[in-house]
Amino acid sequence: MEFLSKSENRVVLRLDSMDDFLYLKQIIEKEDIVRGKSSRKIKFGAEGGRQKSVKKSIWVSVRVKQIEIGSKFRINGSVESEIEGIAFNSSHSIDFEEGSEIEINKESWKPYQLTLIKEAELASKAPKALICVLDDEISSFAHITASGYTKLGQLNLRLSKKRYKENKNQGEKDIARVAKNIIKNYESYEVDTIILGSPLFWKEIVQKKVLELNKDVASKINLEDVSDGDESGIREIISGKVLERIIKDSKLAKDEKIVNEFLELIAKRSELIIYGLKNVKSATDLGAIDELVLTEKLMDSEEMGKILDSVENNGGSITIINSTSSAGKKLNGLKGILAKLRFKL
Protein backbone atom coordinates (compact mmCIF):
# COMPACT_ATOMS: atom_id res chain seq x y z
CA MET A 1 0.00 0.00 0.00
CA GLU A 2 1.26 3.46 -0.89
CA PHE A 3 0.08 6.58 0.92
CA LEU A 4 -0.63 9.25 -1.72
CA SER A 5 -2.27 12.16 0.13
CA LYS A 6 -4.23 13.14 3.24
CA SER A 7 -6.44 16.03 4.31
CA GLU A 8 -8.44 16.33 7.53
CA ASN A 9 -11.03 13.69 6.63
CA ARG A 10 -9.71 12.23 3.37
CA VAL A 11 -6.96 9.74 2.61
CA VAL A 12 -5.90 8.56 -0.85
CA LEU A 13 -4.04 5.24 -1.19
CA ARG A 14 -2.65 3.04 -3.97
CA LEU A 15 -3.03 -0.73 -3.52
CA ASP A 16 0.15 -2.71 -4.19
CA SER A 17 -1.02 -6.27 -3.51
CA MET A 18 -3.90 -8.42 -2.32
CA ASP A 19 -2.40 -8.22 1.19
CA ASP A 20 -3.69 -4.64 1.25
CA PHE A 21 -7.28 -5.93 1.09
CA LEU A 22 -7.04 -7.20 4.68
CA TYR A 23 -5.77 -3.84 5.87
CA LEU A 24 -8.60 -2.04 4.05
CA LYS A 25 -11.18 -4.29 5.71
CA GLN A 26 -9.88 -3.13 9.09
CA ILE A 27 -9.72 0.54 8.07
CA ILE A 28 -13.00 1.07 6.19
CA GLU A 29 -16.23 1.21 8.20
CA LYS A 30 -19.91 1.31 7.26
CA GLU A 31 -21.06 4.85 6.35
CA ASP A 32 -17.56 5.89 5.21
CA ILE A 33 -17.55 7.45 1.74
CA VAL A 34 -15.22 5.65 -0.65
CA ARG A 35 -14.30 6.92 -4.11
CA GLY A 36 -12.81 4.80 -6.86
CA LYS A 37 -12.92 3.95 -10.53
CA SER A 38 -15.92 2.05 -11.80
CA SER A 39 -17.31 1.36 -15.26
CA ARG A 40 -20.66 1.70 -16.99
CA LYS A 41 -21.96 0.85 -20.42
CA ILE A 42 -22.69 3.66 -22.86
CA LYS A 43 -24.97 2.82 -25.78
CA PHE A 44 -24.69 4.39 -29.24
CA GLY A 45 -27.34 4.41 -31.94
CA ALA A 46 -31.06 5.17 -32.17
CA GLU A 47 -33.49 3.41 -29.88
CA GLY A 48 -35.24 0.57 -31.60
CA GLY A 49 -32.37 0.18 -34.08
CA ARG A 50 -28.98 -1.44 -33.86
CA GLN A 51 -27.04 -0.10 -30.91
CA LYS A 52 -23.43 -0.50 -29.89
CA SER A 53 -22.23 -0.26 -26.33
CA VAL A 54 -18.81 0.49 -24.89
CA LYS A 55 -17.51 0.47 -21.34
CA LYS A 56 -16.39 3.80 -19.93
CA SER A 57 -14.35 4.26 -16.76
CA ILE A 58 -15.75 6.80 -14.30
CA TRP A 59 -14.97 7.94 -10.76
CA VAL A 60 -17.78 7.14 -8.32
CA SER A 61 -18.26 7.91 -4.62
CA VAL A 62 -20.37 5.51 -2.56
CA ARG A 63 -21.46 5.40 1.07
CA VAL A 64 -20.25 2.02 2.34
CA LYS A 65 -22.83 -0.61 3.23
CA GLN A 66 -20.88 -3.85 2.73
CA ILE A 67 -17.35 -5.08 2.01
CA GLU A 68 -16.40 -8.25 0.11
CA ILE A 69 -12.91 -9.72 -0.26
CA GLY A 70 -11.90 -12.16 -2.99
CA SER A 71 -9.60 -11.77 -5.96
CA LYS A 72 -10.75 -8.13 -5.80
CA PHE A 73 -11.76 -5.82 -2.95
CA ARG A 74 -15.40 -4.85 -3.48
CA ILE A 75 -17.27 -1.97 -1.86
CA ASN A 76 -21.08 -2.12 -2.02
CA GLY A 77 -23.00 1.01 -1.15
CA SER A 78 -25.19 3.90 -2.27
CA VAL A 79 -24.07 6.53 -4.78
CA GLU A 80 -23.27 9.86 -3.11
CA SER A 81 -23.43 12.17 -6.13
CA GLU A 82 -25.39 11.81 -9.35
CA ILE A 83 -23.34 10.83 -12.39
CA GLU A 84 -24.59 10.47 -15.93
CA GLY A 85 -26.27 7.08 -16.08
CA ILE A 86 -26.01 6.45 -12.31
CA ALA A 87 -28.71 7.95 -10.11
CA PHE A 88 -28.04 9.55 -6.72
CA ASN A 89 -28.57 7.14 -3.81
CA SER A 90 -28.79 4.12 -6.14
CA SER A 91 -27.00 0.91 -5.20
CA HIS A 92 -23.57 0.53 -6.76
CA SER A 93 -20.36 -1.45 -6.25
CA ILE A 94 -16.72 -0.56 -6.89
CA ASP A 95 -14.04 -3.20 -7.43
CA PHE A 96 -10.46 -2.46 -6.38
CA GLU A 97 -7.46 -4.58 -7.39
CA GLU A 98 -3.67 -4.36 -7.39
CA GLY A 99 -2.67 -0.94 -8.72
CA SER A 100 -6.02 0.70 -7.96
CA GLU A 101 -6.30 4.06 -6.24
CA ILE A 102 -8.83 4.39 -3.43
CA GLU A 103 -10.04 7.53 -1.67
CA ILE A 104 -11.51 7.08 1.83
CA ASN A 105 -13.50 9.83 3.54
CA LYS A 106 -14.42 9.59 7.23
CA GLU A 107 -16.07 11.96 9.66
CA SER A 108 -13.00 11.39 11.82
CA TRP A 109 -9.96 9.14 11.57
CA LYS A 110 -9.03 6.97 14.56
CA PRO A 111 -5.35 6.65 15.51
CA TYR A 112 -5.32 2.86 15.04
CA GLN A 113 -6.64 3.26 11.47
CA LEU A 114 -3.77 5.60 10.55
CA THR A 115 -1.36 3.16 12.23
CA LEU A 116 -2.73 0.37 10.01
CA ILE A 117 -1.99 2.46 6.91
CA LYS A 118 1.62 2.90 8.08
CA GLU A 119 1.89 -0.85 8.76
CA ALA A 120 0.53 -1.59 5.28
CA GLU A 121 3.11 0.75 3.74
CA LEU A 122 5.93 -1.00 5.58
CA ALA A 123 4.52 -4.42 4.69
CA SER A 124 4.48 -3.58 0.98
CA LYS A 125 8.19 -2.70 1.13
CA ALA A 126 9.22 -5.72 3.20
CA PRO A 127 10.92 -8.69 1.50
CA LYS A 128 8.75 -11.71 0.63
CA ALA A 129 9.82 -15.27 1.41
CA LEU A 130 9.16 -18.83 0.34
CA ILE A 131 9.28 -21.47 3.08
CA CYS A 132 9.93 -25.15 2.40
CA VAL A 133 10.11 -27.57 5.32
CA LEU A 134 10.59 -31.32 5.04
CA ASP A 135 11.16 -34.45 7.08
CA ASP A 136 11.24 -38.17 6.21
CA GLU A 137 7.59 -38.31 5.15
CA ILE A 138 6.36 -34.91 4.04
CA SER A 139 7.38 -31.55 2.60
CA SER A 140 5.27 -28.38 3.01
CA PHE A 141 5.46 -25.06 1.21
CA ALA A 142 4.25 -21.55 2.07
CA HIS A 143 4.49 -18.04 0.63
CA ILE A 144 5.25 -15.49 3.35
CA THR A 145 4.54 -11.78 3.24
CA ALA A 146 4.80 -9.26 6.07
CA SER A 147 1.12 -9.66 6.92
CA GLY A 148 0.56 -13.42 6.65
CA TYR A 149 1.30 -16.67 4.87
CA THR A 150 -0.40 -18.75 2.19
CA LYS A 151 0.01 -22.52 2.13
CA LEU A 152 1.22 -23.76 -1.25
CA GLY A 153 0.66 -27.48 -0.81
CA GLN A 154 2.52 -30.58 0.37
CA LEU A 155 4.44 -33.54 -1.07
CA ASN A 156 4.41 -37.02 0.42
CA LEU A 157 7.96 -38.41 0.70
CA ARG A 158 9.78 -41.64 1.52
CA LEU A 159 13.06 -40.31 2.83
CA SER A 160 13.93 -42.25 5.96
CA LYS A 161 17.68 -42.71 6.28
CA LYS A 162 17.30 -46.48 5.92
CA ARG A 163 15.03 -46.24 2.87
CA TYR A 164 17.29 -43.64 1.28
CA LYS A 165 20.29 -45.97 1.52
CA GLU A 166 18.34 -49.07 0.38
CA ASN A 167 16.57 -47.34 -2.52
CA LYS A 168 18.70 -44.33 -3.38
CA ASN A 169 17.02 -43.97 -6.77
CA GLN A 170 13.58 -43.40 -5.18
CA GLY A 171 15.12 -41.09 -2.59
CA GLU A 172 16.78 -38.98 -5.26
CA LYS A 173 13.46 -38.75 -7.12
CA ASP A 174 11.80 -37.37 -3.97
CA ILE A 175 14.64 -34.88 -3.43
CA ALA A 176 14.28 -33.76 -7.05
CA ARG A 177 10.50 -33.32 -6.59
CA VAL A 178 11.07 -31.03 -3.60
CA ALA A 179 13.79 -29.07 -5.43
CA LYS A 180 11.64 -28.60 -8.53
CA ASN A 181 8.71 -27.48 -6.38
CA ILE A 182 10.92 -24.85 -4.74
CA ILE A 183 11.97 -23.55 -8.16
CA LYS A 184 8.40 -23.57 -9.49
CA ASN A 185 7.05 -21.63 -6.47
CA TYR A 186 9.97 -19.20 -6.61
CA GLU A 187 9.15 -18.44 -10.23
CA SER A 188 5.38 -18.18 -9.56
CA TYR A 189 5.45 -15.83 -6.57
CA GLU A 190 7.13 -12.58 -5.65
CA VAL A 191 9.97 -13.91 -3.51
CA ASP A 192 13.17 -12.31 -2.21
CA THR A 193 14.42 -15.19 -0.09
CA ILE A 194 13.84 -18.92 0.48
CA ILE A 195 13.87 -20.53 3.92
CA LEU A 196 14.58 -24.27 3.69
CA GLY A 197 14.24 -26.27 6.90
CA SER A 198 14.42 -29.87 8.06
CA PRO A 199 15.24 -31.85 11.23
CA LEU A 200 18.10 -33.79 9.59
CA PHE A 201 20.46 -33.36 6.65
CA TRP A 202 17.67 -33.31 4.03
CA LYS A 203 17.84 -29.53 3.66
CA GLU A 204 21.50 -29.70 2.59
CA ILE A 205 20.71 -32.43 0.05
CA VAL A 206 17.75 -30.44 -1.35
CA GLN A 207 19.86 -27.28 -1.53
CA LYS A 208 22.50 -29.17 -3.51
CA LYS A 209 19.84 -30.42 -5.94
CA VAL A 210 18.41 -26.90 -6.40
CA LEU A 211 21.96 -25.70 -7.14
CA GLU A 212 22.25 -28.31 -9.91
CA LEU A 213 18.94 -27.20 -11.43
CA ASN A 214 19.00 -23.43 -10.96
CA LYS A 215 21.94 -21.50 -9.48
CA ASP A 216 19.98 -18.25 -9.15
CA VAL A 217 17.27 -19.87 -7.04
CA ALA A 218 19.85 -21.73 -4.93
CA SER A 219 21.54 -18.41 -4.08
CA LYS A 220 18.34 -17.29 -2.32
CA ILE A 221 18.22 -20.26 0.08
CA ASN A 222 18.74 -19.92 3.86
CA LEU A 223 19.00 -23.18 5.82
CA GLU A 224 17.26 -23.60 9.19
CA ASP A 225 16.57 -26.43 11.63
CA VAL A 226 12.92 -27.39 12.20
CA SER A 227 11.26 -30.36 13.90
CA ASP A 228 8.71 -31.34 11.25
CA GLY A 229 7.89 -31.14 7.57
CA ASP A 230 4.22 -30.28 8.02
CA GLU A 231 2.56 -26.94 8.82
CA SER A 232 3.92 -27.02 12.37
CA GLY A 233 7.40 -26.66 10.82
CA ILE A 234 6.24 -23.53 8.99
CA ARG A 235 4.84 -22.12 12.23
CA GLU A 236 8.10 -22.99 13.97
CA ILE A 237 9.99 -20.75 11.55
CA ILE A 238 7.46 -17.94 11.95
CA SER A 239 7.52 -18.19 15.76
CA GLY A 240 11.31 -18.09 15.96
CA LYS A 241 13.80 -15.35 15.18
CA VAL A 242 14.42 -16.55 11.62
CA LEU A 243 11.59 -14.63 9.98
CA GLU A 244 12.34 -11.51 11.99
CA ARG A 245 15.97 -11.62 10.80
CA ILE A 246 15.06 -12.12 7.18
CA ILE A 247 11.85 -10.08 6.83
CA LYS A 248 12.60 -6.89 8.73
CA ASP A 249 9.61 -5.03 10.22
CA SER A 250 7.45 -8.08 9.52
CA LYS A 251 3.97 -7.63 10.99
CA LEU A 252 3.60 -11.39 10.89
CA ALA A 253 6.63 -11.87 13.19
CA LYS A 254 5.61 -8.98 15.45
CA ASP A 255 2.07 -10.35 15.84
CA GLU A 256 3.46 -13.77 16.68
CA LYS A 257 5.73 -12.23 19.32
CA ILE A 258 2.90 -10.23 20.92
CA VAL A 259 0.52 -13.20 21.15
CA ASN A 260 3.24 -15.50 22.49
CA GLU A 261 4.12 -12.97 25.21
CA PHE A 262 0.47 -12.79 26.24
CA LEU A 263 0.20 -16.59 26.28
CA GLU A 264 3.28 -16.82 28.53
CA LEU A 265 1.66 -14.39 30.98
CA ILE A 266 -1.56 -16.44 30.92
CA ALA A 267 0.48 -19.59 31.65
CA LYS A 268 1.98 -17.74 34.63
CA ARG A 269 -1.56 -16.86 35.75
CA SER A 270 -0.98 -13.16 35.53
CA GLU A 271 -3.94 -11.19 36.85
CA LEU A 272 -3.19 -8.42 34.35
CA ILE A 273 -4.19 -10.50 31.29
CA ILE A 274 -7.82 -11.03 30.33
CA TYR A 275 -9.50 -12.48 27.24
CA GLY A 276 -12.99 -12.79 25.80
CA LEU A 277 -15.30 -9.97 24.71
CA LYS A 278 -17.31 -9.85 27.96
CA ASN A 279 -14.21 -9.43 30.15
CA VAL A 280 -12.67 -6.89 27.78
CA LYS A 281 -15.86 -4.81 27.71
CA SER A 282 -16.02 -4.71 31.53
CA ALA A 283 -12.36 -3.62 31.73
CA THR A 284 -12.93 -1.01 29.01
CA ASP A 285 -15.76 0.58 31.02
CA LEU A 286 -13.28 1.04 33.89
CA GLY A 287 -10.56 2.52 31.64
CA ALA A 288 -8.28 -0.33 32.68
CA ILE A 289 -6.96 -1.54 29.31
CA ASP A 290 -3.34 -0.74 28.47
CA GLU A 291 -2.95 -3.05 25.41
CA LEU A 292 -5.70 -4.60 23.32
CA VAL A 293 -5.07 -7.40 20.80
CA LEU A 294 -7.85 -8.77 18.59
CA THR A 295 -8.48 -10.42 15.22
CA GLU A 296 -10.03 -8.57 12.30
CA LYS A 297 -13.08 -10.87 12.50
CA LEU A 298 -14.30 -8.94 15.55
CA MET A 299 -14.04 -5.54 13.87
CA ASP A 300 -17.46 -5.39 12.25
CA SER A 301 -19.73 -4.87 15.27
CA GLU A 302 -20.81 -1.44 16.53
CA GLU A 303 -19.97 -2.61 20.06
CA MET A 304 -16.34 -3.26 19.06
CA GLY A 305 -16.12 0.20 17.53
CA LYS A 306 -17.07 1.71 20.90
CA ILE A 307 -14.50 -0.46 22.70
CA LEU A 308 -11.72 0.60 20.32
CA ASP A 309 -12.65 4.28 20.71
CA SER A 310 -12.63 3.97 24.50
CA VAL A 311 -9.26 2.18 24.62
CA GLU A 312 -7.62 4.84 22.44
CA ASN A 313 -9.28 7.72 24.30
CA ASN A 314 -7.78 6.33 27.51
CA GLY A 315 -4.29 6.07 26.04
CA GLY A 316 -4.29 2.32 25.34
CA SER A 317 -2.70 0.66 22.29
CA ILE A 318 -4.49 -1.56 19.76
CA THR A 319 -3.09 -4.41 17.65
CA ILE A 320 -5.29 -6.04 15.00
CA ILE A 321 -4.21 -9.48 13.77
CA ASN A 322 -5.15 -11.50 10.71
CA SER A 323 -7.29 -14.39 12.02
CA THR A 324 -5.85 -16.82 9.45
CA SER A 325 -2.20 -16.23 10.46
CA SER A 326 -0.40 -18.43 12.98
CA ALA A 327 -0.81 -15.77 15.69
CA GLY A 328 -4.44 -15.24 14.69
CA LYS A 329 -5.24 -18.94 15.03
CA LYS A 330 -3.82 -18.92 18.57
CA LEU A 331 -5.89 -15.85 19.35
CA ASN A 332 -9.02 -17.51 17.91
CA GLY A 333 -8.61 -20.15 20.63
CA LEU A 334 -9.03 -17.36 23.20
CA LYS A 335 -12.24 -15.97 21.64
CA GLY A 336 -10.28 -13.69 19.34
CA ILE A 337 -9.43 -10.98 21.86
CA LEU A 338 -6.86 -10.39 24.62
CA ALA A 339 -5.99 -7.41 26.79
CA LYS A 340 -3.30 -6.34 29.23
CA LEU A 341 -4.57 -4.25 32.14
CA ARG A 342 -3.06 -1.19 33.82
CA PHE A 343 -4.19 -2.44 37.22
CA LYS A 344 -5.81 -5.50 38.78
CA LEU A 345 -9.58 -5.56 38.70
Residue 236: pLDDT band (50, 70, 90) is: confident
Residue 195: pLDDT band (50, 70, 90) is: very high
Mean pLDDT of 27-31: 92
Mean pLDDT of 77-81: 90
Mean pLDDT of 154-158: 91
Q: How far is CA 35 from CA 7, 70, 253, 338, in A?
A: 15, 19, 33, 34
Q: What percent of the chain has pLDDT over 70?
A: 89
Chain centre to alpha carbon of residue 268: 30
Of 81, 333, 126, give the one whose Cα is nearest residue 247: 126
pLDDT of amino acid 243: 64
pLDDT of amino acid 44: 58
Inform me whether the pLDDT recorded for 5 exceeds 70.
yes
Q: What percent of the chain has pLDDT over 90?
A: 54
Average model confidence (pLDDT) for the chain? 87
The one-letter amino acid at 316: G
Domains along the chain with CATH numbers: 2-108 (2.30.30.870), 129-246 (3.30.420.60), 251-341 (3.30.1330.30)
Residue 205: pLDDT band (50, 70, 90) is: very high
Residue 164: pLDDT band (50, 70, 90) is: low
Inform me whether the pLDDT recorded for 173 exceeds 70.
yes
pLDDT of amino acid 277: 92
Residues 285-341: tens digit of each pLDDT: 999 999 999 998 888 777 888 999 999 999 999 999 988 888 888 999 999 999 999
pLDDT of amino acid 315: 92
Mean pLDDT of 188-204: 89
Q: How far is CA 31 from CA 58, 61, 64, 108, 322, in A?
A: 21, 12, 5, 12, 23
Mean pLDDT of 35-43: 77
Inform me whether the pLDDT recorded for 45 exceeds 60.
no
Residue 167: pLDDT band (50, 70, 90) is: low
- Helix (H) or strand (E) run with residue 105 in it: strand 101-105
Residue 245: pLDDT band (50, 70, 90) is: low
Concatenating the DSSP letter of every residue in 32-78 gives -EEEEEEEEEEEES-TTS--EEEEEEEEEEEEEEEEEESSSEEEEEE
Residue 212: pLDDT band (50, 70, 90) is: very high
Q: Is 247 helix (H, G, I), strand (E, B) or coil?
A: coil
The number of CA neighbours under 13 Å toward the Cβ of 143 is 14
pTM of the predicted model, to two decimals? 0.70
Inform me whether the pLDDT recorded for 178 exceeds 90.
yes
Q: Is 253 helix (H, G, I), strand (E, B) or coil?
A: helix
Inform me whether the pLDDT recorded for 248 exceeds 70.
no
Determine which of 16-25, 28-37, 90-99, 240-249 has the lowest per-residue pLDDT on average.
240-249
pLDDT of amino acid 274: 95
Residues 92-150: tens digit of each pLDDT: 999 999 899 999 999 999 999 999 998 888 777 777 889 999 999 999 999 987 667 78
Determine which of 39-43, 86-90, 93-97 has the lowest per-residue pLDDT on average.
39-43
pLDDT of amino acid 49: 58
Inform me whether the pLDDT recorded for 66 exceeds 80.
yes
